[in-house]
């Protein structure tokens, strides 16, 4: 028998572990993941593969924006004892204002829709309702701290209201509420015995469908103006889970069906179930819980081996599997390898006890320190990447001219060639037409 505190800690830490491990393979095809790492069974170093499918440096063991959003929600819950929408927005915005160069505040690898959302947040007509309608599953992770802190009876309402802060799309709102419901369901489920080999009960898919119908009815009654934000059918989430329960045969077939099903509701073609679309990602996460062995490390590794949206899927599956199996199911080397694991664990305990201990670090200071640490690691690594670059003939003095307006031209050969061509053209025009004045000057 696992006590509730162990399951809450398991869910919270599982979310952060899944996100951190998924950062290494985010955006990669499953074939590339297998080629580089064989399988994602730990925190992977991406430095050997920068420029070979991986564009940006990622510090091993450090979580990204999904966990940072969940931390912001948790901080408000612990300080105000309720999911105050205004304070959640303020906390998210505050984290975007301070950070090292080339980062959006302290956020690590945020999606473009998240960046645009926070940029427009201070100018909204209604501060508690988003102006944008996206359904990429970006904000679903914000339901995890709500599920670990709030009572199940009011979970639908608070999860929907929190999602509405960031997206007005019905699928995103309902998907966020569904993830909170699923985490809460696993908290109450008995963990499987050692002799069991099957995953979560298949009727979990049907329960998800019924919850989605309830969430859709509540959203339509409370915010009828949002119903037209969906591309074709605002009830697509409940219909997807209902059809999935009726047609589910095996995992590969179901994955293909999810992509085709999402394409029928979307304006864009969905080719893979792991594309960044909540109508495929969330059903896929539930399928992974149902189809995988009842073991935290096995289900998370299988999830992350799929690549692409690995950070989202890893955080969601990690939260559900951790809530089901408890903290003790997470491998010890995964727990110890998580950067900032001590503070993550401290906040998980605080969610269970419903109060933030005085020894906890301030969220902004904590995340700023972590992002600066990653930026320093990146700077130490990047010179090794660019050692062969100085073939441009730049004089040594140029390296010290921090305020030199020509620095960009020296660093970008294409811009430099264009500049030289423009300069030659203007000289020729002056010789041929004395007194010639370029209109742009």
pLDDT of residue 200 exceeding 80: yes
Does position 378 have pLDDT exceeding 50, yes or no?
A: yes
| CA separation for the pair 365, 354 (Å, rounded) | 22
* Mean pLDDT to the nearest integer, 57-70: 97
pLDDT in tens, 109-139: 999 999 999 999 999 999 999 999 999 999 9
**C-beta neighbour count of 320 within 10 angstroms:** 29
92-106 mean pLDDT:
95
Q: For residue 104, what are the β-bridge partners?
A: 107
- All CATH 1.10.4080.10 domain ranges of the chain, comma separated, are 4-379
Which percentage of the chain shows pLDDT scores above 70?
90
Q: Whole-angstrom Cα distance, residue 15 to residue 238?
A: 25
No. of helices (H) and no. of strands (E), the chain: 19, 0
Average pLDDT over the chain reads: 89
For 177-193, what is the mean pLDDT? 93
Q: What is the pLDDT of residue 245?
A: 92
| Residue 400: count of CB within 10 angstroms of its CB | 7
Cα separation of 245 and 205, whole Å?
A: 6
Instruction: Answer whether residue 264 shows pLDDT above 90.
Output: yes
**What is the mean predicted confidence (pLDDT) over 293-297?**
92
Averaged pLDDT, 354-359? 84
Residue 147 has what pLDDT? 97
Return the pLDDT at 403: 45
Task: Tell me phi and psi for residue 104, to 5 degrees.
Answer: -90, 90
Among 261-265, 270-274, 339-343, 383-387, which stretch is predicted with the lowest mean pLDDT? 383-387
User: At CA 310, angle to CA 305 and CA 313, rounded to 5?
Assistant: 105
| Residue 435 pLDDT | 55
Evaluate if residue 405 carries a pLDDT over 80.
no
Average pLDDT over residues 62-84: 96
Confidence at residue 401, expressed as pLDDT on a 0 to 100 scale = 41
Beta bridge partners of 107: 104
| pLDDT mean over 234-259 | 92
* The pLDDT value given to residue 434: 62
Q: How confident is the model at residue 190 (pLDDT cuts 50, 70, 90)?
A: confident
Stretch 385-411: mean pLDDT? 46
C-alpha distances (whole Å) from 177 to each of 144, 164, 165, 213 are 10, 10, 13, 11
Is the pLDDT confidence value at 413 over 60?
A: yes
Phi then psi for residue 339, to 5 deg, are: -65, 135
Encoded tokens for 110: 């945020």
Tokens of 194: 């050692």
Question: Taking the domain 4-379, which CATH number applies?
Answer: 1.10.4080.10
Taking the whole predicted model, whether its pTM rises above 0.75 is answered as yes
Position 196 scores a pLDDT of 73
Average pLDDT estimate for 289-294 = 91
More confident of the two residues 359 and 146: 146
For residue 146, pLDDT over 50 is answered with yes
Task: Quick: pLDDT tens for 386-397.
Answer: 444 444 444 444
**DSSP classification of residue 361:** P
Summarize the confidence of residues 379-388 as an average pLDDT: 61
* pLDDT attached to residue 191: 82
Q: Residues 299-312: what's their mean pLDDT? A: 97
- Residue 198 — pLDDT band, cuts 50, 70, 90? confident
Provide CB contacts within 8 A for 26, sequence distance 6+: 58, 64, 109, 307, 308, 309, 310, 311
Least confident of 16-25, 285-294, 340-349, 354-363: 354-363
């Amino acid at each position: 028998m696992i006590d509730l505190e162990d399951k809450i800690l398991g869910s919270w830490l599982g979310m952060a572990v899944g996100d951190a491990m998924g950062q290494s393979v985010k955006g990669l095809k499953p074939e590339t993941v297998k080629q580089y790492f064989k399988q994602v069974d730990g925190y992977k170093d991406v430095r050997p593969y920068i420029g070979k499918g991986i564009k940006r440096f990622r510090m091993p063991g450090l979580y990204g924006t999904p966990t940072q959003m969940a931390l912001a929600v948790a901080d408000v819950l612990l300080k105000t004892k309720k999911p105050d929408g205004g304070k959640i927005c303020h906390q998210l915005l505050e984290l975007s204002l301070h950070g090292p160069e080339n980062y959006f505040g302290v956020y690590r690898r945020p999606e473009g829709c998240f960046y645009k959302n926070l940029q427009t947040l201070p100018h909204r007509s209604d501060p508690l309702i988003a102006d944008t309608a996206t359904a990429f599953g970006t904000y679903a992770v914000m339901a995890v701290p709500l599920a670990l802190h709030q009572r199940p009876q009011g979970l639908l309402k608070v999860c929907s209201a929190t999602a509405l802060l960031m997206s007005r799309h019905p699928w995103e709102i309902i998907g966020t509420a569904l993830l909170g419901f699923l985490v809460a369901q696993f908290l109450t489920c008995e963990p499987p015995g050692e002799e069991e080999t099957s995953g979560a009960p298949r009727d979990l898919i049907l329960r998800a469908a019924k919850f989605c119908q309830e969430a859709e009815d509540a959203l339509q009654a409370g915010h009828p103006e949002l119903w037209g934000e969906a591309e074709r059918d605002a009830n697509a989430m409940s219909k997807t889970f209902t059809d999935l329960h009726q047609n589910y045969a095996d995992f590969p077939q179901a994955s293909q069906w999810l992509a085709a099903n999402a394409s029928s509701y979307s304006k864009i073609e969905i080719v893979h179930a792991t594309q960044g679309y909540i109508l495929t990602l969330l059903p896929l996460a539930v399928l992974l819980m149902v189809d995988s062995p009842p073991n935290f490390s096995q289900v998370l590794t299988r999830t992350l081996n799929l690549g692409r949206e690995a950070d989202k899927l890893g955080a969601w599956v990690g939260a559900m599997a951790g809530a089901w199996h408890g903290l003790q199911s997470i491998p010890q080397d995964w727990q110890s390898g998580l950067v900032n694991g001590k503070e993550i664990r401290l906040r998980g305990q605080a969610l269970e006890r419903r109060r933030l201990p005085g020894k906890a670090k301030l969220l902004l200071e904590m995340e700023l320190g972590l992002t600066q640490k990653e930026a320093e690691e990146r700077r130490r690594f990047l010179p090794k990447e660019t050692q062969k670059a100085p073939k441009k003939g730049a004089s040594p003095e140029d390296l010290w001219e921090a305020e030199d307006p020509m620095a960009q031209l020296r660093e970008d050969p294409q811009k430099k060639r264009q500049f030289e061509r423009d300069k030659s053209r203007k000289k020729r025009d002056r010789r041929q037409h004395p007194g010639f004045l370029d209109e742009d000057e």
